[in-house]
Amino acid sequence: MKKEEILHRLLEEKIISIVRLKNGEMVSKVIENLVQGGIRVLEITSNTPNFDAQITVSRKKYPDIVIGAGTIYTVEFAQRAISAGAQFLVTPNTNKAVVEEAIKEGIPVIMGAFTPTEVANAVSYGADIIKLFPAGQLGISYYKSLKGPFSNTSFFAVGGIGEANIKKWLEAGIDGIGIGSTLVKQEMNTPEDLENIILKANRFKEFIKKP
């Protein structure tokens, strides 16, 4: 899948599920349930045990799902993720070197930014989408203020997004949402935890479908 196709999928699906787990053995089960719940784009974070191996296995098992790597804040993490087959990178910060690695390999970057200067820097570095982080604390009014000067920039809201506020963010015009612990908790220990993933994923997908 080429970079333009991946970007199209990211913007079309609008939801990225963030898989950050303390127990690496649960990754495959969590992803299976996310897929059952209708999730088509997900990121496996670098602080999940053996994240790169998990990306490789998941890419092979789910060839129709777009799978990226998250919490990529160093060149080393970027290289490991790309070698593992990550289709996009997500950063918590604004890092030119990470973008350069992604550009060399022809994959998109969703780059974390907080201030107008960081947004401008990320855009100038070649980031494809800005990850407004932590969006929940910054708020929708802050996003709207940023969107004024950066009207041609795509934004995803990440951090503090859940069922209580996702609709408001979508109505405000956000291009996409990254959903973390409200969908996948760091500790998944019971069958009920896994079942809840399917139910919650279905509900989040319904928010995207609603006009």
Gap between the Cα atoms of 18 and 182, Å rounded:
10
What is the phi/psi pair of residue 23, to 5°?
-105, 105
Q: Which residues are marked as active site?
A: 43, 131
Q: Yes or no: say if 72 and 78 are a contact pair by the CB < 8 Å rule.
A: yes
What is the phi/psi pair of residue 114, to 5°?
-120, -45
What are the helix (H) ranges across 43-181?
Answer: 51-61, 75-84, 96-105, 116-125, 135-138, 140-147, 166-171
